[in-house]
């Protein structure tokens, strides 16, 4: 009986020390203790808790609490091409802004339409704008050459977050303007529109394209 007992103890000891565990070959050699601890902590969280976090923009530019000085329309606008561009249309909605505004937009999605933009226009309806679109996020820079309407420029990333806003951009100048976050869209609205509707960086937007 004593021999059987010693053999059983020896087997139990071997079972608690798998081959290779003493030199670490049975586990990942690239994980540091801190990394293992972080993974263990994450794994211990309930699944509902891990997946219920609200998505956030990866980059947002600060938006001043104080309104920018009011920009005025051009007293005289340069003459542009007689034939306006026929552009696709769509809608941009702001479900997290005050009143959940939804605006109708012309979509500038190629080089020709993006270069023309809102040049030479002397009016734009209050709830209308122009949406500039690119296939990917990247730094975007705009100027106001031959643009006679003061504008708000809302920079939006491909995930649908407002990442920056330039407000009350003055007319008829070639000074490049941008925000320090990459964007896949830029929405141009009449100056003052963003602040009047409570739109801020970090809010989500919804972009819809018209089927017409």
Q: Distance (Å, rounded) from C-alpha 120 to C-alpha 142?
A: 16
Closest CA to 173 of 202, 136, 142, 194: 142
- Three-class SS state of 151: strand
Whether residue 146 lies inside any domain: the answer is: yes
Q: What is the pLDDT of residues 130-150, one digit of tens each?
A: 999 999 999 999 999 999 999
- Choose between 41 and 54: higher pLDDT: 54
- 52 — pLDDT class (breaks 50, 70, 90): low
Number of domains in the chain: 1
For the record, the structure tokens of 19 come out as 């081959």
- pLDDT tens for 13-33 read 433 333 333 333 333 333 333
Q: Is residue 205 part of a domain?
A: yes
188 within some domain: yes
| Domain membership flag for residue 44 | no
pTM (two decimals) = 0.75
Is residue 181 domain-resident? Answer: yes
Residue 125 falls within a domain, yes or no?
yes
Lowest mean pLDDT among 43-47, 136-140, 161-165, 203-207: 43-47
User: In this structure, is residue 183 part of a structural domain?
Assistant: yes
Q: Which pLDDT score is estimated for 11? A: 37
19-47 residues labelled b (16+ CB within 10 A) or e (exposed)? eeeeeeeeeeeeeeeeeeeeeeeeeeeee
Listed range (28-37, 62-71, 97-106, 116-125) with the worst mean pLDDT: 28-37
In a domain, 47, yes or no: no
pLDDT (tens digit per residue) in 157-170 = 999 999 999 999 99
pLDDT at 44 over 80: no
Mean per-residue pLDDT over the chain, rounded: 82
Helix ranges (H only) for 22-61 are: 33-44, 47-51
> What is the tens place of the pLDDT at every residue in 57-97?
999 999 999 999 999 999 999 999 878 899 999 999 999 99
Query: Residue 119's pLDDT is what?
Result: 97
Domain containing residue 125: CATH number: 2.60.120.1140
Is residue 145 within 8 Å of 170, Cβ to Cβ?
Answer: no
Domain ranges, residue 204? 89-209
Using alpha carbons, select from 108, 181, 115 the residue that is nearest to residue 142: 115
Average pLDDT over residues 160-182: 98
* pLDDT surpassing 50 at residue 204: yes
- Tokens 């956030």 belong to 56
Residue 194 is predicted with a pLDDT of 99
């Amino acid at each position: 009986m004593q021999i059987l007992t010693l053999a059983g103890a020896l087997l139990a000891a071997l079972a608690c020390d798998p081959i290779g565990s003493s030199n670490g070959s049975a586990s990942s050699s690239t994980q540091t203790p801190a990394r293992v601890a972080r993974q263990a902590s994450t794994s211990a969280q309930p699944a509902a808790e891990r997946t219920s976090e609200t998505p956030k923009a990866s980059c947002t530019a600060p938006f001043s609490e104080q309104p920018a000085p009011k920009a005025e329309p051009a007293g005289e606008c340069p003459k542009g091409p007689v034939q306006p561009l026929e552009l696709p249309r769509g809608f941009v909605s702001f479900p997290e802004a005050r009143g959940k505004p939804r605006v109708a937009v012309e979509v500038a999605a190629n080089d020709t339409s993006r270069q023309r933009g809102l040049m030479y226009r002397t009016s734009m309806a209050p709830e209308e704008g122009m949406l500039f679109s690119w296939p990917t996020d990247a730094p975007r820079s705009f100027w106001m050459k031959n643009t006679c309407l003061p504008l708000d420029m809302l920079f939006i990333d491909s995930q649908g977050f407002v990442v920056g806003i330039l407000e009350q951009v003055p007319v008829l100048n070639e000074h490049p303007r941008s925000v320090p976050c990459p964007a896949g869209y830029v929405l141009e609205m009449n100056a003052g529109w963003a602040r009047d509707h409570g739109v801020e960086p970090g809010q989500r937007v919804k972009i819809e394209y018209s089927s017409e």
